[in-house]
Each structure stands twice: as structure tokens, then as C-alpha cells.
Amino acid sequence: MINTYSKLPGTANSIFSVMSQLAAEHNAINLSQGFPDYDCDPKLIDLVADAMKSGNNQYAPMAGLPALKELVANKVNLQYGSNYHPDTEVTITAGGTQAIFTILTACIQAGDEVIIFEPAYDAYAPIIKMMGGLVKSYEMAPPDYDIDWEMVKKLFSSSTKMIILNSPHNPTGSVLKDKDIQALIKLTKDTNVMILSDEVYEHLVYDGEKHQSMALYPELRERSFIVASFGKLLHATGWKVGYCIAPENLMKEFRKIHQFNVFSVNTPMQVGIANYLRDPSIYLGLADFFQQKRDLFRFLLGQTKFNLLPCKGSYFQCVTYGHFSEEEDTVLAKRLITDYGVATIPVSAFYMRNTDHKVLRFCFAKKQETLERSVERLIKL
């Protein structure tokens, strides 16, 4: 047997793979992984098919089709008052996670410190470690998952290279507020610290809240890579198409890596998406669409034993259960699958340390009947 050196010793399959596989084995309703159980717009599928039939089946330009990059730049600039140039500051990516991987590969070297906020999307820490970086985590806690920026300041050192932010937040559904932005501006002023802003749920913000994009603030824009996802935007997560925007000097470094780990992204899908998104009402109505689903799911969950945590964005609803069970969240999550036929995600999986706040995460990007059937089962708990 050949001995290999592992860059991620002790790392097993992600919690999403584990819970989805368990859900399939027990024929459970899958509210664990973040994907819709309804199809995307048939018009979009037709546009992609038309692109294929029209001969758009060879490599796209490395940074993306000009028409799609221009659409992204116009969309972002209109929304946030920014001035990104499509040729030099926008790159189309094979989904959000590829963009995150490319950013960290381009920027993080051995010994660099990266601050993350936990619970955190499970890709951040492993990628940082693969690059030889050091993860410094700030642990947020329920019910509101607020950030104490004075405590964050204590994590800073001369080796701090980057901060990773995610708003709207996966898994908690929290969103950054103006006070967070002002604290971030103050904290990073006169430093070379970069920001990776994971904004894949940017259009899923509820109750009249404002999405606090890094693109809104010149002081943050100049140091930020912003990651977004067409999969979330178009209800087509399996297509794995997204984009990264950043100032030209940062984007140059991004593209040096992008050309060697992806080079270019699915051509007919880029053509189809560019043609489809000419109508901005498609994404401007997303918040209302998902808020209706959130409100329905919260109403239905009110019939269960769970306590609901706030959800201001994303398509995830978190609940607590410590008032009726002392089970570890991983144990209860598996029991919900095997005994009740509903798959969820234990939020402890989003922390590096063994941190169990007795919180589970449900995805409500599902058909109404799926949410209703799920709660019918959860009521029996």
C-alpha cells in the first residue's frame, strides 16, 4: 500500500453528504441540504437548450462570457452604487465554493491568519488549512448570533491576512447590520487585511432589512472579494455557476489561480443565464418569494416542540430544542431521520470545536406540500 500525506487528516465526508445519504436510506424528507425541491423556470432551461443548439458548446473565455460579465457588473453597480468594470473586475465561476477556493488559494500563504465567524460554512476552514493558513474563529451564539467587534479586535495580529464574512448567513439566517459594517470599517482602516464576503444569499433578505454588501462601502470595496451564486438566484444549485467581483488588483491574482483550477465555466449555461437575466424582476422578487416560504414554515413549526430562532435572510430556519431534550444535536438529527423521516443539519457541524447549542437547521426552499408533510412528522416528536 502506498502511503500518502493528507493535507486534511481526520477530515471525513461533509455533514451534508452524511445527512443526505442517511435521508435517502430511510426515505426521509430532505430539509438538510440547501437546495430547492422544485424546478427552475422552464424559460431558463429553454434558453440554455437554445444556446446548445446554436453551437455555444466550446470553451468560454477564461474570465467568462462578456455578455454575462457585463450583466453582472450592471446589476451590482445599479444595486450598490459601485463601479465595477466587467472586463477587469468580474469573473464567472463554477459556483460559489470554487470562487471561495480560488480566493483563498490566491491570497493565503503559510502562516497567514484568517478570521472566520462560526457557525461557518464548512468549506472555509479546510481550504485555509490546505493553504497553510491559520484559522482564528469568533464563535457566535444563539439566539441572535451577534458579533462583539471588541472581541474580534482581539483576534487581530500582525499575521492577520483576511476576514471571511457571510451575510445573509448560512446556517443561522442572520444578517449584518449597519453597526457591524461601521465596526468593520474601523477595524480594517489603515491595514492590508482583505475581506472575503460570501454573499450568495444576497437577494434573500426579509422584513425590510437591507443587504449590507461590501460593494456599498468604498472603504470595504477596495479590499473585498465578493462571491455570489446563480444557483441560489435561479433555483438551479446543480448548475454550479456563480461569480466573483473584486477590484482589478485583487482580481488579477484571482484569475491567475482560476485559469488553472477551472479555466472556464459551462458555455451554454452562461449564454442562457445572460439572456434570462435581462429582466431584473426575476431577482428583485426573490425576497418576497422566499419570505412567504419562511413565514409558512415558521407558522407550521409553531405546532412542534421546537423554539424558533430569528431568520432575517437565506433559506434556512434554525430551531432550538434544549428545553425538551439533552441529546447532542448530531444524535437528535439522526433520530429525526430514522424515527420520523425528516432530515435536518446539526449546527454543531459548523463549528471547529465541539460546540453544541442544541440547534438544528432546516432548509425551507421547498414546495408547500413538502414543508407541510415535514411538520406533520415533526409534530409527533
* Dihedral pair phi/psi, residue 197, rounded to 5°: -105, 110
* CA angle in degrees (0–180, nearest 5) for 192-195-196: 145
Sorted by sequence, the CB contacts under 8 Å of residue 221 that are 6+ apart come out as 82, 214, 215, 247
Contacts 24+ apart (CB under 8 A), 176-184: 176/212, 177/212, 178/212, 180/147, 180/149, 180/212, 181/212, 181/216, 181/217, 181/220, 183/147, 183/149, 183/152, 184/149, 184/220
Report the alpha-carbon distance of residue 43 to residue 65 in Å, rounded. Answer: 20
Which grid coordinates belong to 201? 444569499
For residues 33 and 363, is the Cβ–Cβ distance under 8 A? yes
Predicted TM-score (pTM) of this structure: 0.96
* Assigned CATH topology for domain 43-282: Aspartate Aminotransferase; domain 2 (3.40.640)
Cell 422584513 belongs to 207
For residues 267 and 72, is the Cβ–Cβ distance under 8 A? no
Q: Which amino acid is at 20?
A: S
What DSSP letter does each residue of 274-328 carry, written as one string? Answer: HHHTTSTHHHHTHHHHHHHHHHHHHHHHTTSSPEEPP--BTTEEEEE-TTT----
> What residue segments make up the domains of the chain, in order of their start?
15-40+284-378, 43-282
The CATH number of the domain covering residues in 15-40+284-378: 3.90.1150.10
For residues 367 and 37, is the Cβ–Cβ distance under 8 A? yes
Report the alpha-carbon distance of residue 137 to residue 152 in Å, rounded. Answer: 9
For residues 235 and 39, is the Cβ–Cβ distance under 8 A? yes
- DSSP state for residue 7 in the 8-state scheme: S
pLDDT score, position 33:
87
Number of H helices, E strands in the chain: 16, 13
User: Could you state, in chain order, the average pLDDT of each consecutive group of 10 residues for the chain (381 residues)?
Assistant: 80 80 93 93 97 98 98 97 98 98 98 98 95 97 97 97 98 97 97 98 96 98 98 95 98 98 97 96 93 98 98 98 97 96 96 95 98 98 94
